[in-house]
Amino acid sequence: PVDHVDDGQQFDFVLVTHRIPVHGRPDAVAGGAWTYSPVGVDAILGEEVGVRNGAWVGWSWQPGESVRSAALGRVHLRSIELSDREIEWHKEGYCNSTLWPIYHDSIERPEFHRDWRDAHRVVNRRYADAVTRVAAPGAVVWVHDYQLQLVPAMLRALRPDLRIGFFLHIAQPPVELFGQLPEREETLRGLLGADLVGFQHPRGVSNFLRLCTELLGLEVGTDSVVVDGRRVRVEAHPISVDVAAIEEVVNRPRITRRAAQIRAELGNPRTLLVGIDRLDYTKGIEQRLLAYGELLDGGQLSADSSAFLQVATLSRENLARYALLRERVDRLAGHLNASYGRMGNPVVHYTNRVLDRDEIMALYVAADVMVVTPLRDGMNLVSKEYVASRVDNRGVLVLSEFAGAAHELSEALLVNPNDVDDLKNAVLRAVAMSPAEQGRRMEVMRKHVREHDAQAWVDGFLKDLG
């Protein structure tokens, strides 16, 4: 729980994300407090805000709240309010139904509505205004992700004294896709308000530079763009996971016991394949289940020797295409169980529940093969978390070449998830892989994520932002 403060204080470091990691209502019962609960990347970012005695600005996911400030130790939270209409038009509309599909290969068709765009502009402006109130002269401001791409330029216009960084968590599309966006120029100009624009993958950098030339006619170098006489740096800063924290958790006896218990509950299959994703059409959940089904069908795998456990936490449930996806995956899992499972012993274990962090870690420990097959993914932290969790250097990662992580985790079995045969072959190779080969591959990948962990990502970005 956090205390409320609203003291007009200003800060030398301001982190800006669409949401701040709190729940509860600051003005409600329960002691009138938010609960501040950052996990994963949020925890690392929160530590950085604390170390720098900074402020964190974002939406608290609470409609119509009245208290907007709180402090947890040295983390000062400042919340942005969004109306129900803005949640519908800016978040569910523009962010999740216009931008998200375009930035994911238009797997699902993007929708364009001027009302959504207008709400999006208003909301971005609200974030920029909130930052100007808490940023001290010359402060460093780090803005995150696709929901807030207009903020850097708005901030620069309001406060040219600020040092502004922007990081995009999803993949920057090439001109052939990005060019569909009616607000393509406005979006690029929004980002160019920053001093440093960071992407997950070198291809994000080259796509962005090409967009600046082709759509804005700007002069670009290999890692910068000149705009209005200013040089904007454009760099790849692949995000990562807190390897030390993950290693600490998976080494706890309670987690190893739970991992063994999970395997026992699933009938101690010789090979346990696991997938963990938000239920999103970009994650390739259907593709991997189809491939697994064909392997059962062809007799290359059996329900006696293998089991598939898929965690697909519900997300964006208000949107029709996510509801339809849920129905399709439900049907597919049901079909596989009806065809290949036995009474009381399903072959696909499928849940939409949000599991707690320890349970996710136990699943990583339990998984012989981690199947990560997105059709497009900025990075994909699940693949890096799995690698970080394999302290015994065992286990195989099957990874889509369309995840940003494939650029770094080259010792994974890389697949094209649109190619069912390729997926099937990779799964069979994973199942049959010798412990020696598993160890050799996992060791290389573990070394990489240890040397490039989440703290290194934060430090690298902020050092270059200067």
Q: How far is the CB of 383 from ligand GDG (least distance, A)?
A: 8
Q: What whole-number distance in Å separates Cα of residue 398 and Cα of residue 421?
A: 14
List the structure tokens of 456: 């290194």
Find residue 140's DSSP bridge partners: 13, 163
Q: Give the residues lining the site for ligand GDG (CB under 6 A).
A: 40-41, 169-170, 239, 276, 278, 311, 313, 354-357, 360, 377-382, 385
Amino acid identity of 191? Answer: L
Q: What angle do CA 2, 8, 11 make, to 5 degrees?
A: 80
DSSP element (H, E) containing 23: strand 22-23
Q: How far is the CB of 407 from ligand GDG (least distance, A)?
A: 12
Tokens 């993950």 sit on residue: 246
Tokens 């807190």 sit on residue: 242
Given 145, 195, 280, 377, the catalytic residue: 377
Would you say 261 or 268 has its CB closer to ligand GDG? 261
Task: Write out the DSSP string of 422-433.
Answer: HHHHHHHHHHH-
Find residue 398's DSSP bridge partners: 371, 413
List the structure tokens of 79: 């919340």
Instruction: Give helix 381-389 / helix 357-366 axis angle, nearest 10°.
Output: 70
Would you say 169 or 424 has its CB closer to ligand GDG? 169
Tokens 């020797």 sit on residue: 305
Would you say 76 or 390 has its CB closer to ligand GDG? 390
Would you say 140 or 379 has its CB closer to ligand GDG? 379
Would you say 40 or 439 has its CB closer to ligand GDG? 40
Q: How far is the CB of 450 from ligand GDG (least distance, A)?
A: 17
- CB within 8 Å of 232: residues ≥ 6 apart: 192, 194, 195, 196, 197, 224, 225, 226
Q: Per residue in 342-364, is it b (16+ CB within 10 Å) or e — as a string?
A: eeeebbbbbeeeeeeeeebbbbb
Closest CA to 279 of 335, 350, 337, 383: 350
Tokens 């697949």 sit on residue: 415
Q: How far is the CB of 42 from ligand GDG (least distance, A)?
A: 10
Q: How far is the CB of 381 from ligand GDG (least distance, A)?
A: 3
Q: How far is the CB of 359 from ligand GDG (least distance, A)?
A: 7
104 assigned to active site: no
Would you say 147 or 438 has its CB closer to ligand GDG? 147
Q: How far is the CB of 437 from ligand GDG (least distance, A)?
A: 26
Q: How far is the CB of 237 from ligand GDG (least distance, A)?
A: 10
- CB within 8 Å of 25: residues ≥ 6 apart: 34, 62, 65
DSSP element (H, E) containing 274: strand 271-278
Would you say 245 or 272 has its CB closer to ligand GDG? 245
Closest CA to 58 of 22, 110, 98, 93: 22
Answer yes or no: are the C-beta atoms of 192 and 153 closer than 8 Å: yes
Would you say 117 or 316 has its CB closer to ligand GDG? 316
List the structure tokens of 213: 């030339």
Q: How far is the CB of 145 from ligand GDG (least distance, A)?
A: 8
Given 18, 169, 237, 349, the catalytic residue: 169
Phi, psi for residue 59 in degrees, rounded to 5: -80, 140
Reported as half-sphere exposure (CB side, CA atoms, 13 A), residue 220 has a value of 20
4 assigned to active site: no
Would you say 301 or 409 has its CB closer to ligand GDG? 409
List the structure tokens of 408: 């770094």
Catalytic positions are 169, 377
